[in-house]
Structure 1
Amino acid sequence: MATLGLSPDDKDAVETFRRDVVDPSMTHLVIIDFWAEWCGPCKALGPVLEKVAEDYASKGVKLVKIDVDANKFIAAQFQVRSIPTVYAMFQGQLAADLTSARTESQLKAMLDQLLKQLPIQSDDAAQEAELEPLIAMAEQVLGEGDATRALSIYDQLAEMAPDHAVIAAGRARALVALDRLDEAEAALAAMPEDAAKAPEVARARSALDLARSATPVADLSGLAAKVAGDPDDHASAMELAGGQMAAGDRDAAAETLLRSIDTDKDWNEGAARQQLLKLFEAVGLEDPWVSAQRRKLSAILFG
């Protein structure tokens, strides 16, 4: 926006616009709300814009309100003919016309689409980059069997990001590994609705369900012999698999469940298959061990 030949007031308006809108737009998505005190629809839309901007602040969104009566030159430059007029600017260029969005859901849908397309420097992205190696360390420690240390790491991470789904789910799995099942259940129940839909949370819930159903068996070898002698005794096979899981022997538990499925896929509405799938989810669907067991299951079901 050139200032050559402009009046002092217009020059001030341009400099203010550059400082408040253009410069922040180099790294943020700036919502520009052209409004006026006498405009009824502007007063109705204003609180919606303010709430959404606050909700999306950590995603790199900033709201700037421009009174068209006090900034006639700026409004003219943007050819504002009616108000409210709402634009989105990124890196000094108009990225979208948001004027048609009059509800919170409509505005959020448009912003979500823009944020997917533009390289916005958001606080969320910066925090995620900081947390990623720490989460990986906690996962490694938990995978190595040191649940106490893993829980300590997850507790520290939870202080940094209280509503982070992956952290909350990992912490719950650490609690399950320590047999603190009620605490794990309470932690999962307290998660925000959106975070609770994450696949990592489903993994934690499966781990909790398995832990509750995995009852220790005093004589595993005796129960194993009983199941081997009567392959149709699926109830005992399920008990054996639970005991093997309680003992931390996932290989033996998977083999027991696979043999039960091979004998009768439909017993008790596919209970053995459901339990095996829970085991897969608890271990982690991307784990190589799960991939190997899945191939065995597929061979039984479709071979």
Structure 2
Amino acid sequence: MASLGLNLDEQRAVDRFRKAVVEPSMTKLVVLDFWAEWCGPCKALTPVLEKVCGEYADRGVLLAKINVDEEQFIAAQFQVRSIPTVYAMFQGQPVADLTPARSESQLRQMLDQMLARLPIQAGDAPAQDIAPLLAMGEEVLAAGDGERAVGIFSQIAEIAPDSAAAQSGLIRALLVVGDKAAAEEVLAALDPALAEDPALAQARSALALATDAPEPSELDGLRAAVAADPADMAAQLALANGLYAAGDRDGAADLLLTIVAQDRAWNEGAARTRLLQIFEAIGLEDPWVAATRRKLSTVLFG
């Protein structure tokens, strides 16, 4: 893809495409999926692509996704007129249109045909090849689709078992689907050196916060206790913990910020400490975390 005469945004788009697609395609077969958030057929096809490409990873197949709304210039270069549009890329060039393959069996058949005639470098994907998959998993996890995130991170962990980022994502995804026991098993089974990797700090924080989600009647009881005595910070903290475990992080954060505003030193700063644990568990780059940290700073420093 030529870069002469491009403006800065177009040049950056080309650079991103070169890193994510062209460079890996020098030795791998890259399945390039053009999609968008609003595209229903794209969402139906995505699990098929993820599953089959994960199965074929050790044969040199890599999945790359291009959001047509975010990368309009790249989509235009490929003359994408409808989505989903799926190409197979090898050595920087499209070698097949995979769009008609809408089932696992159809996709496998087309991949088998290409792998039989192309000099694809088989074997485990290099570390840099899993970066797009990790980004995909984090995006799915941030959207709250825990089951799909478990599938993505499980496949990455099979491709690269020594990837701390993949193991962290898998643990956090398991917590989202409510399987705390499985998350603990994943962490316990890790090699001690890998388990101490800083990338797993987020997963450890998520595990530390994870408790069985309370029954609606329990939450109602906690709400009643807070309503009966709004100055009871212990009740507020208990309700905040229950709300977070039940998936209401906004409600939990509001209560914790209220406690900090009332008495930041209460119980050795327990409310602020719990907020910081939540921030780490969700991820410091998450937009919700950034917004809530600003609220905390306003409470602390006016």
Coarse TM-score class (shorter-chain normalised): 0.5 to 0.7
Q: Is the alpha carbon distance of 1:229 and 1:262 closer, same or farther for their aligned partners in structure 2, counting shifts above 3 Å?
A: farther
Q: How does 1:166-181 map to 2 (within 5 A)?
A: 166-181=165-180
Please report how far the alpha carbon of residue 223 of structure 1 lies from its aligned counterpart in structure 2 after TM superposition: 3.2
Please report how far the alpha carbon of residue 187 of structure 1 lies from its aligned counterpart in structure 2 after TM superposition: 1.5
Cα distance between partner residues in 1 of 2:229 and 2:198? 38
Which residue does 2:239 correspond to in 1?
A: 240
Q: How does 1:53-68 map to 2 (within 5 A)?
A: none
Q: Does 1:137 pair with 2:136?
A: yes
After superposition, the C-alpha distances for 1:246-291 in whole angstroms (9 at most, x for unaligned) are 2211111000111011112122221111111111111110112111
Cα distance between partner residues in 2 of 1:239 and 1:296? 21
Which residue does 1:293 correspond to in 2?
A: 292
Please report how far the alpha carbon of residue 211 of structure 1 lies from its aligned counterpart in structure 2 after TM superposition: 1.3
Cα distance between partner residues in 2 of 1:279 and 1:175? 17
Question: Structure 1: 5+ residue runs without aligned partners?
Answer: 1-122
Whether the aligned pair in 2 keeps the contact of 1:237 and 1:257 (CA below 8 Å) is yes
Question: Structure 2: 5+ residue runs without aligned partners?
Answer: 1-122
Q: How does 1:1-303 map to 2 (within 5 A)?
A: 126-128=126-128, 130-212=129-211, 215-218=214-217, 220=219, 223-303=222-302
RMSD after superposition? 2.4
Please report how far the alpha carbon of residue 174 of structure 1 lies from its aligned counterpart in structure 2 after TM superposition: 1.1
After superposition, the C-alpha distances for 1:110-168 in whole angstroms (9 at most, x for unaligned) are xxxxxxxxxxxxx999422x101111111222222221221112111111111110000
Please report how far the alpha carbon of residue 204 of structure 1 lies from its aligned counterpart in structure 2 after TM superposition: 0.8
The structure that has the greater radius of gyration is: 1
Whether the aligned pair in 2 keeps the contact of 1:147 and 1:177 (CA below 8 Å) is yes
After superposition, the C-alpha distances for 1:33-75 in whole angstroms (9 at most, x for unaligned) are xxxxxxxxxxxxxxxxxxxxxxxxxxxxxxxxxxxxxxxxxxx
Q: Is the alpha carbon distance of 1:298 and 1:125 closer, same or farther for their aligned partners in structure 2, counting shifts above 3 Å?
A: farther
Q: Give the paired residue count.
A: 180
Q: Secondary structure of the equivalent of 1:131?
A: helix
Cα distance between partner residues in 1 of 2:149 and 2:288? 21
What percentage of residue pairs aligned between the two structures are identical?
A: 52
Cα distance between partner residues in 2 of 1:174 and 1:193? 21
TM-score of the two chains, using structure 1 as the length reference: 0.54
Letter of the structure 1 residue corresponding to residue 127 of structure 2: Q
Whether the aligned pair in 1 keeps the contact of 2:211 and 2:245 (CA below 8 Å) is no
Which residue does 2:102 correspond to in 1?
A: none
Cα distance between partner residues in 1 of 2:255 and 2:275? 10
Which residue does 1:112 correspond to in 2?
A: none
Cα distance between partner residues in 1 of 2:260 and 2:228? 16
Cα distance between partner residues in 2 of 1:152 and 1:124? 18
Whether the aligned pair in 2 keeps the contact of 1:227 and 1:233 (CA below 8 Å) is yes
Of the structure 1 ranges 139-148 and 245-254, higher mean CA displacement relative to structure 2 is found in: 139-148
TM-score of the two chains, using structure 2 as the length reference: 0.54
Cα distance between partner residues in 1 of 2:288 and 2:299? 17
Letter of the structure 1 residue corresponding to residue 262 of structure 2: T
Moved over 6 A (4+): none
Whether the aligned pair in 2 keeps the contact of 1:151 and 1:174 (CA below 8 Å) is yes
Letter of the structure 2 residue corresponding to residue 257 of structure 1: L
Please report how far the alpha carbon of residue 221 of structure 1 lies from its aligned counterpart in structure 2 after TM superposition: 5.1
Cα distance between partner residues in 1 of 2:274 and 2:124? 36
